[in-house]
Amino acid sequence: MSKSVDMAVTVGADRPVRLKNPVIAASGTFGYGLEYADQLDLGAIGGFVTKGVSLKPRDGNPPPRICETAAGMLNAIGLANVGLEVFLGEKLPKLRKLDTAVVVNLYGEAVEEFAELARRLSEAGGVAALELNVSCPNVKAGGMAFGCAPGPVGEITAAVRAVTDLPVWVKLTPNVTDPVGIARAAAAAGADALCLINTLLGMAIDARRKRPRLANLYGGLSGPAIKPVALRMVHQVSRAVAIPVVGLGGIVTGEDAAEFLLAGASAVQVGTANFLDPAACLRVAAELEDFCADQGVTAVADLVGGLAA
Ligand SMILES: Cc1cc2nc3c(=O)[nH]c(=O)nc-3n(C[C@H](O)[C@H](O)[C@H](O)COP(=O)(O)O)c2cc1C
């Protein structure tokens, strides 16, 4: 098929992030990007989000920490990562040379940690946007996830906004009853975009051994199983806030990506699918382009929010 589709999109107005195409690799499923350099041309993907970076290195949870489920997987990695110093010293200098949008995912256990990470990463340069993972426990509030209430999400967003001019994307958890209230709090506190969804809290049991399949008991469900939940939340939130939404959850094909754009997402992320196909982001973008050509859509951005009433 001869393709003449404009695949470029821009996420955000005041602090725009321009992408060659709307398909970004999701945090935790694409390492620090560099691990995938042999598998695909990193310069050809829309962008990627790094594994969540914390101030100190973390080993994460004991194994087993992933398991397969029907149409998806559970993970309880526990945010294992190299920590800020190694990220700045060893990863970022290589990432800066890539011709793609590098979004850094941040993880903190207190508001001040998010602000410190954001400040140091902004000073370092070479980062296209910061993505705040607010699905982590707030140690000062007894371990409840920050992302479960509007107040703490607004607080983290405002604290990061105060120390950086980089685009701030806030990644929301689906494990809440009112995503719209939380989304509004992030937008009001200065977020440039919202990413949703993170994983859904779940559990798997080996009945014969009478044991949980994850050492951590509970883990985050991802993959095609969560796509309907993700589409619903993207639709709800994108209609309620003025800032753009980046949609993710179970995207495997170009048509899945089109569904998220129609629901109101300005760009998408591909997570679990990278484990089955390391070049999934390129394939999804190519399939999305074919979909647009087939549908007579000349610019992929025209799909955004195009759901018929
Ligand atoms: C193994 C694994 C590790 C993840 N690590 C992170 C992380 O560090 N930070 C984060 O915000 N999301 C993390 N996620 C969530 C994904 O970025 C994504 O939101 C989720 O998996 C839903 O998308 P998918 O169904 O396409 O995988 C992780 C997901 C998986 C499967």
At residue 139, the pLDDT reads 66
| Domain-embedded: residue 124 | yes
How does 209-245 read in b/e, with b if 16+ C-beta sit within 10 Å?
eeebbbebeebbbbbbbbbebbbebbbbbbeebebbb
| Domain-embedded: residue 215 | no
| Domain-embedded: residue 254 | yes
Number of the ligand 1 atom closest to the C-alpha atom of 195 = 19
How does 42-63 read in b/e, with b if 16+ C-beta sit within 10 Å?
beebbbbbbbbbbbeebeebee
CATH of the domain at 157: 3.20.20.70
Number of the ligand 1 atom closest to the C-alpha atom of 73 = 31
| Domain-embedded: residue 67 | no
| Domain-embedded: residue 1 | no
| Domain-embedded: residue 208 | no
| Domain-embedded: residue 69 | no
Ligand 1, atom 26: nearest CA belongs to which residue?
271
At residue 135, the pLDDT reads 87
Each residue's pLDDT, cut to its tens digit, for the chain (309 residues) gives 557 999 999 999 999 999 999 999 999 999 999 999 999 999 999 999 999 999 999 999 999 999 999 999 999 998 899 999 999 999 999 999 999 999 999 999 999 999 999 999 999 999 999 999 998 766 677 667 889 999 999 999 999 999 999 999 999 999 999 999 999 999 999 999 999 999 999 999 999 999 999 999 999 999 999 999 999 999 999 999 999 999 999 999 999 999 999 999 999 999 999 999 999 999 999 999 999 999 999 999 999 999 997
Task: Give the whole-angstrom CA distance, residue 112 versus residue 95.
Answer: 26
| Domain-embedded: residue 214 | no
**What is the separation of C-alpha 199 from the centre of its chain, rounded to a whole number of angstroms?**
10
At residue 71, the pLDDT reads 97
Count of domains forming the chain: 1
pTM score, two decimals?
0.97
At residue 145, the pLDDT reads 83
Ligand 1, atom 12: nearest CA belongs to which residue?
27
Q: Which domain holds residue 230?
A: 9-62+74-200+221-303
Does the active-site annotation cover 136? Answer: yes
